[in-house]
Amino acid sequence: MSALLTSIDARGVATLTLNRPERHNAFDDHLVHELTEALGRLEKLHDVRVVVLGSVGQNFSSGADLEWMRRMASFGEDDNTADAHALAQMLHMLDRLNKPTVGVVQGPAYGGGVGLLACCDTVLASDRATFCLSEVKLGLTPATIAPYVLNAIGARQARRYFLTAEVFSARRALEIGLVHEVVPGTTLAEEKEVLLDALMRGAPGAQAAAKSLIFHCENRAIDDDLRHETARRIAERRRSREGQEGIAAFLNKRLPAWREE
């Protein structure tokens, strides 16, 4: 049985489902490889509009599989570094995917599971979900996930939750910026569809460009270089096929017909 289930529906919504419920959907080097391969394929598929990340069972993900960690602890420095680089590369691919990504959390998300969610553009959580950055209790640090979690919750909150490894609720995750919306578990699937409908209305090229814009502007001073670059980008989008179609559709009170750029 595959540790990762992949499906694409008629709308172009791709769903990646962690499928190790017997291990609380913990990931190991094999699942990291499967996720990397799947993200690489989806990046190139123009018909895929949105990518949803979810999991089977009651747990979202307990993070890194401890059997994997035990195995790697017996390896040398070079092998450990290569293994950690593979995880870091997968997280980077998820974070920078050129399509909107949605994390759907039905239950506990620990350690690296929190990192996966921090890489998603939008996260929906059940009110039954719980979260924990548990690494220090194992004598480890949340190193590879740290850049993404810091982007989501900020350094001030990280200084608490990285160091205490305490479990916090979905409501607290919402307050600190890890998740965007908390809904009853019974309506999680319905709320996911509402979000997907909103995402499907956007122009795919513009959405990819908007993500690129965020990454370009993030943590940069608002100087002449940034002003010139943002002006160049909006001028480019105005001239694009999508830009012209979107404006024409709005003025003519019709739905836009997005086509591949």
Question: Any idea what the CATH number is for the domain that residue 122 is in?
Answer: 3.90.226.10
The pTM score is 0.95
- pLDDT of amino acid 259: 80
For residues 219-224, give the mean pLDDT: 96
Co-location of 77 and 124 in the same domain: yes
Residue 21's domain spans which residues? 4-200
Q: What is the mean pLDDT of residues 212-216?
A: 97
Residue in the structure block whose two tokens are 């950690």? 84
159, 221 in Cβ contact below 8 A? no
Residue 158: CB partners within 8 Å, gap ≥ 6? 133, 146, 149, 150
Confidence of residue 194 (pLDDT cuts 50, 70, 90): very high
Q: Are residues 188 and 223 in the same domain?
A: no
Same domain, 129 and 60: yes
Question: Does residue 258 lie in a domain region?
Answer: no
**Residue 194 domain flag:** yes
Same structural domain, 45 and 169: yes
On the question of pLDDT at 260 being above 90, the answer is: no
The residue out of 182, 200, 218 marking a domain boundary is: 200
**pLDDT band at 159, cuts 50/70/90?**
very high
Q: pLDDT grade, residue 73 (50/70/90)?
A: confident
pLDDT, one tens digit per residue, over 89-137 is 999 999 999 999 999 999 999 999 999 999 999 999 999 999 999 999 9
> Is the pLDDT score of 261 beyond 80?
no
Whether residue 123 is found in the same domain as residue 189: yes
Which residues, in sequence order, are bridge partners of residue 18? 4, 55
Alpha carbon separation from 43 to 37, 93, 100, 194, 242 (Å, rounded) = 10, 9, 11, 23, 19
**Of 181, 35, 177, 165, residue with least CA distance to 110:** 165
Count up the domains in the chain and report the number: 2
172-175: long-range pairs with CB below 8 Å, 24+ = 172/131, 173/125, 173/129, 173/131, 174/125
In this predicted structure, which of 63-67, 83-87, 171-175 has the lowest mean pLDDT? 63-67
